[in-house]
Amino acid sequence: MLSGGLRGKWVRACAGGALSMALTCTGVAMAPAAVAQTATATCSTDSGAKGLASSPVAGTLVSVERADGRIAQLQLFYDATATGGLPFVWHREQNGPGGAYGGWQRVSAATVGPKSYAMTALENSAGRMELLFSTYGSFCHTVEDDGAAGGWSAVDAFGLAPTPYHGGVVLFKERDGSIDAFASGAYGAGSMELRHQQDATAGWGPTRSMGQVPDAGVGLSQPSSVEQLPDGRLHVAAREWNRDRTWEIWQSAPGGGWGPWQLTAP
């Protein structure tokens, strides 16, 4: 899990569309390859839980700035009536910019955990919040839907499934309002995977690989930084999960493929 300070930086980065880092490089164009989904975990639910916010899970509060200036908050809560002992995602929002928060409402009966309690959210081009959370080695997805029971769409498997201890999913909003979801590759060490949403109507595209790190035995964590360069290309940096080395990669063209992974200077 990210610390409170780092989580705040990621939320601001997602809302603003860029992290400041002045780096340039020329990469070799490579078309992103679609990843075969050989095993996608279903989103586990605990239908026996009565929907009580019995106690919060420490360190899980996530704040998301909305386009209208309000702040939405998401947090994990344990439910004393749950049969599996895993927490659930709850949601509340300010009534107006700078105003008081409404009451906590449970998003769904889907459980979070057990090995990773990662959770992230971002407002899409239609002004609805996209929510991702970890469950049993994969990430689940739901989006705000006023017409659905509870105000959220049915929870479904998102496809990204980072190896345990390699971090969670990082969401990034580009200047045109499109969204990227990055995570350490589930199958094969030293890779990163990506899904892209051009707009809310189009939905999420397929899971694609950003290529393999050239060194053997490398396992990447979630991206430590994502930025959009002045020319529209993306730059991603990720630290190895068990070693103090960082790799970076540049998009070959806006919305295009990716060059090779390169080891940053110490």
CATH of the domain at 123: 2.120.10
Classify burial at 62, counting beta carbons within 10 Å of its beta carbon; exposed 0-12, middle 13-18, buried 19 or more: buried
Tally of structural domains, the chain: 1
188-218 tens-digit pLDDT: 568 999 999 999 999 999 999 999 999 988 9
Q: Report the predicted TM-score, pTM, of the whole model to 2 decimal places.
A: 0.83
Could you say which DSSP state residue 73 is in? E
pLDDT at residue 75 is higher than 80: yes
Mean pLDDT, residues 1-9 taken together: 40
Residue 147: predicted pLDDT = 82
User: What is the average pLDDT score of the chain?
Assistant: 86
pLDDT of residue 41: 57
Average of pLDDT values for 255-265?
A: 94
* 25, 262 contact by CB (below 8 A): yes
Distance, in Å, from the CA atom of 84 to the CA atom of 46, rounded to the nearest integer, reads 7
Phi, psi of 149, deg, nearest 5 = -60, 125
Distance CA 203, CA 68 (A): 22
Q: Which domain holds residue 36?
A: 4-263
Q: Is the pLDDT of residue 110 over 50?
A: yes
